């Protein structure tokens, strides 16, 4: 085998004939730096060290010896080029499974003529075939709107490098044909077998659909990566899923001993409104139900106070009181969040064996995975809308005015008075609540603020600057209603000219809170996810630790620039 001897100064003192085949030039007296700049001690470990020289890979093992108070290093070279190339080929040829679904295919084609349907189906099929033809992979059509493809890692890397431009092609083609067709793709990458890759792909597709569609979720052994998600999801017209969920939920309620309802920390009108509607429905079904809420850390105190004055019994209990009512047959219903880290009380969540989740936010990687029913509709405007749709299927008793107004307040909050994410089903839910006594004037009074709060909001708005078509404001004061004020300020900033999104930063304890809003042109959820937050396409938030306002603003601007870069916009 090729062998050389070097001194401490890395000078080659001796080499054998086989080494001459590696370094064809005279090597005696030259520096080993020509081959590698790694420390000579690194080669003397039991593992040795790999180097690349003259288009060849070598594993080099060294032995250190001491003579006359100086060190000599004997290095042995093993040519591993063939093994390395085989290893690279193995990695590049590993198969990855792609599960592809056309978003809301039936909804998009609902009113189309047969000729238009055939044209759209053919268009999608051609784009799929062209997409796979650029690889050596295979694709198979499972149903009218679902495909499965298998491609090698080498081609998947190029597709990822191009950020799955097939999403843009399908979106553009659909727009040209006047059909808002988009794709959701789940990719299983880096799995140990085809079966595991398919499992990864299924989980990834569920994640992509749960985040609103028109995007790709790539699942690897280390987690998820997301691409796309720039368009608004198409609302589903059918309520089949709602009826199925209602049937299963009815069975769970009847077989439980009691029900505890809980939302997210710092509950708002949507969270509390949905809980109020569900609690009254469950009591109408003959089961005891309470709402676990931290009153002191809540953004819907006006609604809670109104309901306490209206109801004879106190439906609201503290998380500690709720813990005392939990037994092995207690049903826990979590509303307006699906992240275990965001729930009002982690202790209540952990104490309940049977859990139901009802939420409309785009799916996050860290979601509640032990729910018996996971009712998740990212196309819904609010959790209150979802509850309003469930109520007629759960109980024959119609909702009264108090709970109808609570649900209406939740819908109005998350749709900003029916201007955002308000689809046909949103207005149907609002009409149902109005029919059952909800008075919009009475609901509007739940949004009233004091003159001091209004002045604080104006102060925040006045501090705003516009960068990258984003209004960014901050506040350096603390108040009891700071979360409400910053949310209202973020909404207000969207009214400025040449603004696609708004962000309001404020200190809260040892953290910096960021409230983000948009009208849909910018996906603020993606931006907040870059900062370990989340939410919806038009409404999101995050909390940054170990930083100040300036540091948080720097991180925010970096995330905004990264978002624009990813969608190809400057």
How many whole angstroms separate alpha carbon 309 and alpha carbon 325? 23
Domain boundary among 432, 447, 462: 447
How many whole angstroms separate alpha carbon 91 and alpha carbon 322? 53
Domain boundary among 447, 469, 485: 447
Is 486 among the domain residues? yes
Tokens representing 60 are 């080099």
As a residue count, the chain comes to: 570
* Distant-in-sequence, close-in-space partners of 335: CB < 8 Å, separation ≥ 6: 261, 262, 263, 271, 274, 275, 278, 358, 359, 383, 387
Query: Which of the two residues, 108 and 544, has the higher pLDDT score?
Result: 544
> Per-residue pLDDT for 570 more than 80?
no
Tokens representing 145 are 């709107």
User: Are residues 338 and 404 part of one domain?
Assistant: yes
Look up the CATH number of the domain holding residue 489.
3.10.310.30
Is 233 among the domain residues? no
Q: Which long-range contacts (CB under 8 A, 24 or more apart) does 199-208 make?
A: 200/97, 201/96, 201/97, 201/98, 201/99, 202/99, 204/99, 205/99, 205/101, 206/363, 207/363, 207/365, 208/184
How many whole angstroms separate alpha carbon 29 and alpha carbon 405? 89
User: Are residues 100 and 34 part of one domain?
Assistant: no
Query: Which of the two residues, 369 and 114, has the higher pLDDT score?
Result: 369
User: Are residues 31 and 141 part of one domain?
Assistant: no
> What order of strands is seen across the sheet that includes strand 470-474?
465-467, 470-474, 501-508, 511-518, 539-545, 534-535
The 3-state secondary structure of 51-72, one letter per residue: EEECCEEEEEEEEEEEECCEEE
Residues 224-235 have a mean pLDDT of 74
User: Are residues 276 and 398 part of one domain?
Assistant: yes
**pLDDT tens digits, one per residue of 174-195:** 888 778 888 999 999 999 999 9
- The H or E element that residue 216 is part of is strand 215-220
Tokens representing 549 are 């306002």
Confidence of residue 236 (pLDDT cuts 50, 70, 90): low
How many whole angstroms separate alpha carbon 137 and alpha carbon 135? 5
User: Are residues 527 and 541 part of one domain?
Assistant: yes
How many whole angstroms separate alpha carbon 209 and alpha carbon 234? 11
Look up the CATH number of the domain holding residue 299.
3.90.1640.10
Domain that holds residue 415: 240-447
Look up the CATH number of the domain holding residue 83.
3.30.450.20
Is 277 among the domain residues? yes
Other beta carbons within 10 Å of 16: 11
Is 42 among the domain residues? yes
DSSP state of 32: G
Whether 436 and 404 have beta carbons less than 8 Å apart is answered as yes
Domain boundary among 228, 258, 289: 228
Is 62 among the domain residues? yes
> Per-residue pLDDT for 69 more than 90?
no
Domain count, the chain: 4
Look up the CATH number of the domain holding residue 193.
3.30.70.270
Is 235 among the domain residues? no
Residues 127-151 have a mean pLDDT of 93
User: Are residues 407 and 268 part of one domain?
Assistant: yes
Q: Which of 154-168, 231-245, 456-470 has the weakest average pLDDT? A: 231-245
User: Are residues 105 and 24 part of one domain?
Assistant: no
The 3-state secondary structure of 493-547, one letter per residue: HCCCCCCCEEEEEEEECCEEEEEEEECCCCCHHHHHHHCCCEECCCEEEEEEECC
Confidence of residue 449 (pLDDT cuts 50, 70, 90): confident
What pLDDT, on the 0 to 100 scale, is given for residue 174?
Answer: 83
What pLDDT, on the 0 to 100 scale, is given for residue 509?
Answer: 82
Is 234 among the domain residues? no
Residues 345-374 have a mean pLDDT of 94
User: Are residues 478 and 553 part of one domain?
Assistant: yes
Q: How far apart are the first and last CA of the chain?
A: 56
User: Are residues 413 and 337 part of one domain?
Assistant: yes
What pLDDT, on the 0 to 100 scale, is given for residue 175?
Answer: 82
User: Are residues 332 and 419 part of one domain?
Assistant: yes
Confidence of residue 254 (pLDDT cuts 50, 70, 90): very high
**pLDDT tens digits, one per residue of 332-354:** 999 999 999 999 999 999 999 99
Percent of the chain at pLDDT above 70?
98
Is 443 among the domain residues? yes
User: Are residues 151 and 39 part of one domain?
Assistant: no
User: Are residues 277 and 410 part of one domain?
Assistant: yes
**pLDDT tens digits, one per residue of 468-520:** 999 999 998 888 888 889 999 999 999 999 999 999 999 988 899 999 999 88
Mean pLDDT, all residues of the chain: 92
């Amino acid at each position: 085998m090729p062998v050389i001897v070097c001194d401490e100064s890395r000078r080659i003192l001796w080499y054998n004939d086989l080494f001459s085949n590696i370094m064809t030039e005279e090597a005696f007296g030259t520096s080993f730096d020509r081959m590698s700049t790694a420390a000579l001690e690194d080669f003397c470990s039991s593992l040795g060290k790999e180097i690349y020289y003259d288009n060849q890979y070598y594993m080099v093992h060294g032995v250190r010896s001491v003579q006359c108070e100086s060190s000599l290093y004997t290095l042995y070279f093993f040519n591993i080029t063939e093994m390395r190339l085989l290893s690279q080929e193995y990695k590049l040829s590993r198969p990855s499974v792609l599960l592809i679904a056309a978003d809301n295919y039936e909804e998009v084609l609902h009113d189309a003529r047969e000729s238009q349907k055939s044209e759209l189906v053919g268009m999608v099929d051609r784009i799929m075939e062209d997409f796979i033809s650029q690889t050596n992979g295979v694709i198979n059509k499972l149903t009218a709107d679902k495909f499965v493809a298998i491609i090698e890692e080498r081609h998947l890397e190029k597709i990822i490098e191009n950020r799955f431009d097939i999403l843009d092609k399908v979106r553009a083609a659909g727009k040209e044909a006047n059909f808002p067709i988009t794709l959701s793709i789940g990719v299983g990458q880096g799995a140990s077998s085809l079966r595991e890759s398919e499992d990864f792909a299924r989980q990834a597709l569920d994640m992509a659909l749960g985040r609103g569609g028109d995007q790709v979720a790539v699942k690897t052994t280390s987690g998820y990566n997301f691409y796309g998600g720039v368009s608004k999801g198409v609302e589903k017209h059918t309520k089949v899923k709602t009826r199925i969920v209602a049937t299963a939920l009815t069975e769970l309620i009847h077989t439980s001993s009691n029900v505890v309802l809980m939302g997210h920390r710092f509950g708002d009108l949507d969270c509390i409104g949905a809980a109020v509607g569900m609690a009254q429905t469950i009591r109408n079904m003959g089961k005891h139900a309470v709402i676990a809420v931290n009153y002191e850390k809540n953004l819907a105190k006006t609604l809670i106070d109104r309901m306490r004055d209206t109801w004879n019994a106190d439906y609201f209990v503290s998380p500690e009181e709720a813990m005392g009512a939990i037994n092995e047959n207690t049903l826990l219903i979590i509303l307006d969040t699906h992240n275990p880290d965001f729930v009002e009380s982690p202790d209540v969540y952990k104490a309940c064996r049977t859990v139901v989740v009802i939420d409309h936010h785009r799916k996050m990687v860290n979601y509640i995975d032990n729910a018996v029913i996971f009712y998740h509709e990212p196309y819904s405007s609010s959790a209150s809308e979802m509850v309003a749709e469930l109520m007629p299927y759960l109980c024959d008793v119609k909702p009264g005015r108090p709970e109808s107004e609570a649900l209406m307040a939740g819908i109005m909050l998350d749709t900003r008075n029916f201007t955002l994410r308000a689809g046909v089903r949103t207005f149907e839910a609002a009409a149902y609540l109005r029919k059952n006594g909800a008075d919009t004037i009475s609901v509007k009074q739940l949004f009233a603020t004091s003159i001091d709060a209004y002045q604080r909001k104006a102060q925040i708005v006045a501090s705003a600057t516009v960068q990258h078509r984003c209004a960014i404001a901050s506040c350096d004061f603390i108040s009891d209603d700071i979360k409400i004020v910053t949310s209202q300020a973020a909404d207000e900033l969207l009214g400025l000219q040449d603004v696609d999104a708004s962000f309001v930063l404020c200190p809260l304890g040892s953290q910096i809170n960021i409230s983000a809003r948009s009208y849909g042109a910018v996906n603020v959820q993606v931006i907040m996810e870059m900062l370990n937050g989340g939410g919806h396409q038009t409404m999101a938030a995050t909390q940054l630790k170990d930083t100040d306002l300036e540091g948080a603003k720097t991180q925010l601007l970096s995330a905004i620039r990264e978002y624009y870069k990813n969608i190809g916009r400057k």
